[in-house]
Structure 1
Amino acid sequence: MDVKQLQTFIVLARLLNFRAAAEELNYSQSTVSDHIRNLEQELGVKLFERIGKKVFLNEEGNKLISPAQKMLQDAEEIHELFNKGEKVHGDLRIGAAETLCAFWLPPLLKEYTKIYPKVRIILKMADCLEFHELLEKNIVDVAFSLHDESKRKDLFQIDIFDDSTVFVASPDHPFSTFKKIAMDELENQSFILVESESGYTMELKKLFKKLNVQVDAIMELGSIEAIKQCVKEGLGISFLPRIAVDKEIKNGELVILPVETDNILIHAKMVYHVNKWMSSPMEALKELVLLKKNTKSSMQKK
């Protein structure tokens, strides 16, 4: 069975769009169609339903996903057996939370690509709660998340670092000159928060509820950069990881509000599926992450 046809099938099953699949695979659309047609002829079944311009995975196609992924992983492992003497190469598909994708991951990937220039990195930004499915379906090889997956037996996670969170506002906000701010003083204030069902945003909401603090309004946005712009314009207060606002605080575009409350930490983690075969690019990434983590720990102890 042609491995390229199976790879095309897996990508098309995920995207359900021939043009998008062709772009991701760097094939022509006709090549994608040929791969699927030849695979269907070999198996003697239809894998997709085509209704107008829309494509749907049918029952036979669903049955093929798991064994196709296994065959692709086996093929990758076989190639790796005979390439031990070569430099690390191949594709590495990474999922990342926006905070990590924008403010922590770029320097790591810069160093990684400098050491391993033959690795092609495919980066996908997603909500932390999506990573379990993305890893389970082998859409990404590894994820950098802020969500604790320790209760999941099918995922392995490595703690990378912790970071503090801060309340921020524009320098013109009435609270910007306060030396101390009690939580109940946030009553009737407008907040602009990250749209998420987990992590530090949910922890703040739980804290408001526990202390019976009724805020005036909560605007939720999917982009941290958009949130910071809204806060700069004086539309409200936000609550973000310190790593995400360091630049604006240093430039005087935002100020930290001295809210008296227990610090809510973010916990950055590297996550991958327990059944995932560790390719050489993935193993190299894991080693670099652990090296960075251990180096940082040693410096903190000093």
Structure 2
Amino acid sequence: MSLDLALYQLRTFREVARLGSFTKAARSLGYAQSSVTSHIRSLESRVGMQLVHRLPHGVRLTHSGKIFQEYAQRIFHVVDEMATALNPSDEAEGRTAVGASALLLESRIGPLIRDCRYRYPRVHVSPRHLSIGRAREAVRDGEVDLALVHGGCVPDEWSAAGITVVELPDLEVVPVGSAALLGSPGLPPAPASPRVLVVDPDCTSHQVLVAALRWEHGVEPEVVEAGSVAGARELARAGHGVAMLPVESVGQTQEPDGLAVLPGLPRLRLPVRALWAGPEFALSAVTAVCRVATQVGRERAVQTA
């Protein structure tokens, strides 16, 4: 059997298989959903068998689809090798989907994108929010090429699962709240049960803050999810709670508009790690982005020292 397959069709199939949805694949690739549907139908027609099961909410690969996926991945590895061989300057290039935990998305992704554009003009960073608890799964399933996470994790367990783990510069987080709290003797001020504003439920920093309020200040705080760093910052500024936020995104002194770093509560340095699916699958673009992420972390640490 001779197959005449187009790379753009294989790329569409790869995204459908990775995301489990025609709609998500179309959004990821920048296609109309009808184009994605057409590409898959054309592939199925050319191979003479069904590759995906159409379900009420998404799609699932058939047995033939799983075999096809394995060979499609091999084809793209060969294409990547060819692109490297044809690039005599060995300049990193390609699009890298970078998933980042909420605090890193706020504090480091902007400088990462800026520096990548300057140092590696042919590398394009596509940022995505990624919860810490889903990092390994997202990397393993190809949802992201590189994951940047902070806080507690078990690198040895991730490495055993085929995930490459690289240590990056730490992230310092500080307790912030309304500057009006600074005028009160001791912490916490009114109300008697302050709120702890949580950005990422998987981050341990809010647990340390809760423990400090409980054991050192004798109150039982209410834990409230703020949804984002911006949401936590605004709620804290308005006096609705205390949040642990990156020092590089809030500064270390009282702001004119009412947000302050609060004394008497813990400051933490959280480990930051980059993850990707093994060195044999790491494209030059991924390793380039990881290098820039390391440099950005060092620069931000110097700026806030």
Paired position in structure 2 for 1:233: 238
- Say if 2:65 is the partner of 1:57: no
- Say if 2:72 is the partner of 1:72: no
In 2, distance between residues paired with 1:209 and 1:11?
Answer: 47
Q: What is the CA RMSD across the aligned residues, in angstroms?
A: 3.4
Shift of 1:45: 2.8
Residue by residue over 1:127-176, the C-alpha shift from the partner in whole angstroms, topping out at 9 and shown as x without a partner, is 12222111111222112210434122222222222233322221223xx2
Paired position in structure 2 for 1:284: 288
Shift of 1:105: 2.3
Whether contact under 8 Å (1:6, 1:68) holds in the other structure is yes
Q: Structure 2 vs 1, CA of residues 145 and 133 (structure 1 numbering), >3 Å: closer, same or farther?
A: same
Residue by residue over 1:203-229, the C-alpha shift from the partner in whole angstroms, topping out at 9 and shown as x without a partner, is 445666777965242111221111111
Partner SS, residue 164 of structure 1: strand
Paired position in structure 2 for 1:201: 206
Whether contact under 8 Å (1:69, 1:138) holds in the other structure is no
Residue by residue over 1:7-53, the C-alpha shift from the partner in whole angstroms, topping out at 9 and shown as x without a partner, is 2112123444434423422334443223212322344332223356x
Paired position in structure 1 for 2:220: 215
Out of 115, 120, 123, the residue aligned to residue 119 of structure 1 is: 123
Residue by residue over 1:164-195, the C-alpha shift from the partner in whole angstroms, topping out at 9 and shown as x without a partner, is 3322221223xx2256548x999722222224
Out of 136, 141, 146, the residue aligned to residue 137 of structure 1 is: 141
Out of 272, 280, 289, the residue aligned to residue 276 of structure 2 is: 272
Q: Structure 2 vs 1, CA of residues 296 and 107 (structure 1 numbering), >3 Å: closer, same or farther?
A: closer
In 2, distance between residues paired with 1:206 and 1:46?
Answer: 55
Whether contact under 8 Å (1:192, 1:219) holds in the other structure is yes
Give the unaligned 5+ runs of structure 2: none
TM-score when normalising by structure 2:
0.80
Q: Structure 2 vs 1, CA of residues 58 and 155 (structure 1 numbering), >3 Å: closer, same or farther?
A: closer
Shift of 1:279: 2.1
Out of 80, 85, 107, the residue aligned to residue 81 of structure 1 is: 85
In 2, distance between residues paired with 1:253 and 1:48?
Answer: 55
Whether contact under 8 Å (2:198, 2:225) holds in the other structure is yes
Give the letter for the 2:204 counterpart. G
Paired position in structure 1 for 2:100: 96
Q: Structure 2 vs 1, CA of residues 149 and 9 (structure 1 numbering), >3 Å: closer, same or farther?
A: farther
In 1, distance between residues paired with 2:265 and 2:211?
Answer: 16
Output aligned runs, 1:17-56, within 5 Å: 17-51=21-55, 54-56=57-59
In 2, distance between residues paired with 1:248 and 1:71?
Answer: 54
- Say if 2:191 is the partner of 1:157: no
Matched residues, percent identical?
21
Residue by residue over 1:94-123, the C-alpha shift from the partner in whole angstroms, topping out at 9 and shown as x without a partner, is 111222222222123212102322323211
In 1, distance between residues paired with 2:191 and 2:164?
Answer: 39
Out of 221, 229, 232, the residue aligned to residue 224 of structure 1 is: 229
